Structure 1
Amino acid sequence: MAVARSVTGPFVLSRATTPADFDAIVALEFKTFTDTFIREIFMGPDTPSGHANLSSMYQKTLLQNPADVWIKVEEKTTGKVVGASNWRVHMGSVPIHEEDLGWEWLGDDEEKLEKVRGVIEAIMQTRKKLFTEPYCQLHICFTDPDYQRRGIGSMMLRWGCDLADQLFLPSWVEASPTGKFLYRKFGYKDVDVHKSGEIDGSTMKRVARASSMEGGQ
């Protein structure tokens, strides 16, 4: 897949591919997501080793999973990463919906391990029920809290939705209540609303807007 670049005012969108990219993305992710339970499920500890482990996991997944795509948004004048998102582009077969993050950072705390595994299992069951055809998925999306309401999230959503339209694929996102307004702007609609007690949200779907092409002589 070719590197995509677009410029909107003072920000630049491009593919994230290098270790430096992922180190910056992970630092931003920890700045953005401060909820302890979210970190326990998806991220790990906010320590130098925790950051390094998460960056390494993202890089490993990118190398091993051909559907995995990361994009970043940088401030044009400084090169600072101010937004990032991870997309999964499944153009052929539907993947096996399983996810095991290891959760080594929880150690032997069986109560927390049971809780986070329950959350992941619920997410996987919903995917198995709904994601039954090739699709794009917005896996994660975040913007630097100091740069919100400046169109950065919209840049990343527009990139992903345009890609899905070009591939004639529906796209999905597992949305938090705070993210739903942006996703609805781009045509995502609620399909499944869920409340786990710890994490509330909904699974949203966007139908591809591209029409068939005509041409030739």
Structure 2
Amino acid sequence: MTFVVLPASIPEIREVYDAYFAAFEGELVTEVLFPWDVNNNEFREGHTNHTLGYWHKDNVQYTFKCIDTESGEIVGMSLWDVYWRERSEDERRLPAVDWLQGQQKERAQKFIQAFWEKKEALVGGKKHVYCHVVAVHPKYQRRGVGSMLTKPGIDIAEQLRVPVYLEATDKAIKMYSDLGFEKLRGGVHLGPEIVGGQDHLEAPIMVRMPASLDLANFSQWARRSSV
């Protein structure tokens, strides 16, 4: 079985997100951001159209796919923001949750805001590469696909000589560590109003510095004045 990672194309949007929704079925992120039956055809058509509209207007985000070359199936995807220049405050506003309403919208907005505030405090408008997600279909996990999907972002960051920043899950920490990422102290705190019930979670934050630097330089890098 051979895998290859390539840029995703418009006709493949639905297949790319088939892998995403399969990978995160039952997870908090899909429960909060997509509180519907994600396998419902009407929802998926709307999601595909929304994604297509975003692809047409966004100029920093890049999506990669991993293909099983024997079956032709898309088995995973990764999503990256490449900030090759510094950004103003207007350019990094808190994203709006415009696909939900009422309490669902309020919960999703708090979820996104928690991640946004932490990243804003650490990175601000400085140049960096941000990994939104690495998703591998459950049938293809533990075969190196996740590492393959992470390497395009690492390669871009090395060319730019900037850090890669991401929020991990506990089960993905080892994979990222093997790729040169290190876990920062203090993750993203998600309170019970987001998690539900009396529970709370802390999402780990990981950073990979370019080869010319090391993590000891991250604090110094993060303290530098930004736009």
Q: 1:12 to 1:200 in 2, by over 3 A?
A: same
Do the aligned partners of 2:118 and 2:188 also contact (CA within 8 Å) in 1? no
**Is 2:177 the partner of 1:184?**
yes
- After TM superposition, the structure 1 = structure 2 runs for residues 156-195 of structure 1, keeping only pairs within 5 Å, are 156-191=149-184, 192-195=186-189
- Which residue of structure 2 aligns with residue 201 of structure 1? 203
SS of the aligned residue for 2:96 comes to: coil
Q: 1:41 to 1:99 in 2, by over 3 A?
A: farther
> Offset of 1:80 from its aligned partner?
0.3
Q: Distance in 1 between matches of 2:99 and 2:129?
A: 26
- The share of aligned pairs that are identical, in percent, is 21
Q: Distance in 1 between matches of 2:122 and 2:93?
A: 11
Q: Distance in 1 between matches of 2:2 and 2:13?
A: 21
Do the aligned partners of 1:61 and 1:68 also contact (CA within 8 Å) in 2? no
**Is 2:98 the partner of 1:102?**
yes
Higher alpha-carbon deviation: 90-99 or 162-171: 90-99
Do the aligned partners of 1:142 and 1:153 also contact (CA within 8 Å) in 2? yes
- After TM superposition, the structure 1 = structure 2 runs for residues 59-208 of structure 1, keeping only pairs within 5 Å, are 59-94=52-87, 95-104=91-100, 107-108=101-102, 110=103, 112-132=104-124, 133-191=126-184, 192-197=186-191, 198=195, 199-208=201-210
Do the aligned partners of 1:44 and 1:54 also contact (CA within 8 Å) in 2? no
Structure richer in helix, relative to its length: 2
**Is 2:19 the partner of 1:28?**
yes
Q: Distance in 2 between matches of 1:183 and 1:124?
A: 21
Do the aligned partners of 2:68 and 2:74 also contact (CA within 8 Å) in 1? yes
SS of the aligned residue for 1:179 comes to: helix
Do the aligned partners of 1:87 and 1:139 also contact (CA within 8 Å) in 2? yes
Q: Distance in 2 between matches of 1:13 and 1:145?
A: 17
Normalised by the size of structure 2, how large is the TM-score? 0.80
Q: Root-mean-square deviation (CA), in Å? A: 1.9
Normalised by the size of structure 1, how large is the TM-score? 0.83
Q: Distance in 1 between matches of 2:28 and 2:78?
A: 20
> Offset of 1:36 from its aligned partner?
5.9
* Aligned residue-pair number: 198
- Which residue of structure 2 aligns with residue 13 of structure 1? 5
Do the aligned partners of 1:15 and 1:70 also contact (CA within 8 Å) in 2? yes
Do the aligned partners of 1:171 and 1:207 also contact (CA within 8 Å) in 2? yes
Q: Distance in 1 between matches of 2:27 and 2:122?
A: 29
Q: Deviations over 1:113-163 (max 9, x none)?
A: 332221211111112101131000111111010111111111111222122
Structure 1 portions without partners, runs of 5+: 1-8, 212-217
Q: Distance in 2 between matches of 1:169 and 1:73?
A: 25
Higher alpha-carbon deviation: 51-60 or 139-148: 51-60
Q: Distance in 1 between matches of 2:24 and 2:142?
A: 17
SS of the aligned residue for 2:133 comes to: strand
